[in-house]
Amino acid sequence: MISLWVTDSFERKDKERDLLAKLIIDLTISRDVAISQDQLIKGFENVLTTLEDAVNDAPRASEFLGRIFGKVILENVIPFNEIGRLIYNGGEEEGRLVEIGLAAEVVGSTLEMIKLEQGDSVVSEICRSSNVRLESFRPQGSSKQWKLDKFI
């Protein structure tokens, strides 16, 4: 369900993606817990598995997913180190998103969204407390500028 919603949102408007992020957060943190954290993580894993294909249809899919991840992190639904692990291992084959640069774009978009909403100090604190090595999301040997680079 999560995977379908998020993947479908890549071809929607910003307002609809924002509402989806709010819905996912509300369903996860409500007293009734309609979606468990494990179910949400599994859904995000599925999205990351198909992200390489999704960017063919929606070229900004990595940016859109990063924004959703940023909101999930800011609402303390899933910590940054867990989101980072999902992204790092993501792709059709484990680690493929790092290899092709999509991991750098997703993480960069996630941090951009957090910076926009909460500022540089919150980004710094989230990165510091998570012990996530941002440079590990860059493809090896790449000289291309990635969204992630401004946070390294």
Q: pLDDT digit string (tens) for 43-86?
A: 999 999 999 999 999 999 999 999 999 999 999 999 999 999 99
| pLDDT reported for residue 101 | 96
**What domains does the chain contain, in order, with CATH numbers?**
1-150 (1.25.40.180)
Instruction: Look at residues 93, 65, 92, 55 and name the one whose alpha carbon lies nearest to residue 3.
Output: 65
Amino acid letter for position 133 = R
Output the pTM of the full model.
0.94
Query: Phi, psi (5° rounding) for residue 54?
Result: -65, -35
Amino acid letter for position 68 = I
